[in-house]
Amino acid sequence: MWRKPLDADEFEAPKGKVYIIDERCKGCGFCVEFCPRNVLEESEKFNSKGYHPPDVANPDDCVHCELCELICPEFAIFVLDEKEEKERRKKRQKKAKGTKKAKGKKTSKKKSGKKGKKKGKKKGKKEGKK
């Protein structure tokens, strides 16, 4: 770290979780260059445009300053704090459970609907025979 407050040991710095959308990146390197904690580094991988998106090399060092997010010209990088990250995970899990339940209900309705129609047809046939 290039500078450190005198009471740094008394406080715990916030932690951030970095997300990179590789396909949006144009490999300018701003985020790598200006991250104050050297969290990011240039990678060897390519995206479909032929650019090198950064890698999160030191994820534990991120202090959620959001400089990378602000500086990225392509909106290809964003950072969540730990609380936001937990909430996001919970929302995802709820959504996933919700869609599973909804799918289950739809299929059961379809089945019952078909049965109803069949019964109706049978009745009609019987009535016709009489």
Q: How many residues at the interface with ligand SF4, by CB under 6 A?
A: 30
Among 47, 55, 67, 85, binds ligand SF4 (CB under 6 A): 67
Nearest-Å Rg of the Cα atoms of the chain is 27
Q: Where are the alpha helices (DSSP H) in 8-130?
A: 30-34, 67-71, 82-129
Q: Is 77 in the site for ligand SF4 (CB under 6 A)?
A: yes
Among 63, 78, 81, 85, binds ligand SF4 (CB under 6 A): 63
Which listed range, 28-36, 86-94, 95-103, 121-129, lies at the site for ligand SF4 (CB under 6 A)?
28-36
HSE, side-chain direction, 13 A CA sphere, residue 87: 5
95: left (phi over 0), alpha (psi -120 to 50) or beta: alpha
Query: Which residues contribute to the site for ligand SF4 (CB under 6 A)?
Result: 16, 18, 20, 25-31, 35-37, 39-40, 53-54, 62-68, 72-74, 76-77, 79
